Amino acid sequence: MNNDEQKRQIQTDNQIDNASELTMWLLLLSLVTISVQQQWEPSQYPNPRKGGFKQCNMRSVSNVCDPDEVLNEGDRYRLNNELQRISARTGSGGSSYCDRKGVDAVLAIVKQGSQQFANDLSKLWHMDDQCKRSTIFLLSGDDRKLYFASQANTGFNNADIQSVISSNEELLQRGQFTPALVNVFKEVGKSIDFVPTSPRADHNFKAAPSIVCSSLSLLLMLVVSRL
pLDDT digits (tens, 9 = 90+) for 87-112: 888 887 777 888 788 899 999 999 99
Find the Cα–Cα–Cα–Cα dihedral 163, 48, 150, 186, rounded to 10°: -40
What local confidence, expressed as pLDDT, does residue 176 receive?
A: 97
Extract long-range pairs of 167-175: CB within 8 Å, 24+ residues apart: 172/144, 172/145, 172/146, 173/144, 175/144
Residue type, 113: G
Query: Looking at residues 78-86, what average pLDDT do you find?
Result: 95
Rounded to the nearest integer, the mean pLDDT of the chain is 80
Q: What is the pTM of this model?
A: 0.69
